[in-house]
Amino acid sequence: MTDYLFALTDAGGTVPPELGVARRLLARGHRVTVLGDASMAEAVAALGARWRAWSEPARLFEDWRPQSPTAMAAGMAETMIAGPAAGHARDTDAALADLEPDAVVTSFVAVGAMIAAEAARLPYAVLMPNIYALPAPGLPPFGLGLAPARGPLGRLRDRGLSAASTRMLARYALGPLNDVRQAHGLPPLTSPWGQHQRASRQLVLTSAAFDFPGTMPESARYVGPVLDDPAWAETSTDWPLPAGDAPLALVALSSTFQNHVEALQRSADALGALGLRGLVTTGPAVDPALIRAPAGIEVVRSAPHQQVFPHVSVVITHGGHGTVMKALAAGVPMVVLPHGRDQADNAMRLTRRGAAVTVPRRATTQQISAAVHRVLRDPGYRQAAERLGEHVRDESAFGALVDELENLPNQR
């Protein structure tokens, strides 16, 4: 039996796959303690893992507000990466002293926990429940929704954009992170991504067939997606399927607030205009009462997507990684309205493989209707989703994921 400390942050859609990793280790007979945000306590208790809370509450980064690239980098550094690092390191130090675990597993932004693990000379793995997020040759820069580079000019584009975004983040994050490292007796980093690159393993929780190919560092491993539904949806029973024989569409936008109420409404109206049946799930961030339901459309806060997908012909989504993976696993094509984060990148990977149509987040009702009609009319979209879904299902078998984590203590 191995003793793992999970140091996790609540970033909405990242919680179900990260707790899903813990669930699989518990099922193998290992001991797991989760150190996380207070919002995760109930879900961790349901797993049967031990629980510890961060001593400082998480700060909300309102990334949905219009911001300049500089302001976005400053906000990410302050609220997600560098700002919490000192507190996360202190809490992780205390947990390591109390529990004496064999290895540490962290969320992507829990950099303070990574520093504490390195200082304690413990192996640590970083979870990436999305596409590979660090700069790597061959991969387009993260977050911009770019296609793979073609030719020397394309490669120059990627190097320039990656260098610019790294410098911008370093301006706000590198100093505070190095202060925490100095307090732990560690040498300074030269890049804001340096702590991630020092991990024993970077575990990418997606399908390698979904991501674009790139030259990955030796520590990076594609271990397949974790398709677990969030705890608040797993037990949901109030999701009646609309009556009738028309194709059913699922609307599933962000589980965290991204100022997407109007996008939910336009999506519902688009399905009503087409005469389709629709199930609109608002998630915990939006009150279902805010959405006016046209005829044939049901609006609910939550539904277990893995139970709903077998009935669905098309998904309207913001492009969050969890929804995308579950839709592909069910062979369901998508209409994507990217709102931010990694969503434009996911949309690009879907459209390049022919499994989705992308429209702007502010697309009109008519534009969304046209995109849904296009996906339903052309069987090629479902065929492409089914082809990609075969890889998603095969790679979500968890053998590689569990093997990597069970071998983690040997990486000292």
What pLDDT does 236 receive? Answer: 66
Which region, left, alpha or beta, applies to residue 185 given φ > 0 means left and ψ of -120 to 50 means alpha?
Answer: left
What pLDDT does 265 receive? Answer: 96
> What are phi and psi for residue 34, nearest 5 degrees?
-105, 120
CATH number, domain of 194, equals 3.40.50.2000
Instruction: Please state the domain count of the chain.
Output: 2
318 and 193, same domain (yes or no): no
Q: What's the pLDDT tens digit per position in 289-335?
A: 999 999 999 999 888 888 899 999 999 999 999 999 999 999 999 99
Mean pLDDT of 144-165: 93
203 and 301, same domain (yes or no): no
Is 158 in contact with 215 (CB distance < 8 Å)?
no
Q: Which residues of 103-136 are buried (b: 16+ CB within 10 A; e: fewer)?
A: bbbbbbbbbbbbbbbbbbebbbbbbbbbbbbbbb
Q: How far apart are CA 132 and CA 393, in angstroms?
A: 19
Does residue 391 sit in helix, strand or coil? helix
What pLDDT does 234 receive? Answer: 67
362 and 402, same domain (yes or no): no
201 and 268, same domain (yes or no): no
Does residue 1 sit in helix, strand or coil? coil
Mean pLDDT of 19-42: 96
171 and 265, same domain (yes or no): no
127 and 217, same domain (yes or no): yes
Q: What's the pLDDT tens digit per position in 337-350?
A: 998 889 999 999 99
308 and 178, same domain (yes or no): no
Q: How far apart are CA 249 and CA 270, in angstroms?
A: 11
Domain that holds residue 322: 231-394
33 and 178, same domain (yes or no): yes
pTM: 0.94
Does residue 64 sit in helix, strand or coil? coil
350 and 403, same domain (yes or no): no
120 pLDDT exceeds 70?
Answer: yes
What rounded mean pLDDT belongs to the chain? 93
31 and 103, same domain (yes or no): yes
What pLDDT does 396 receive? Answer: 82
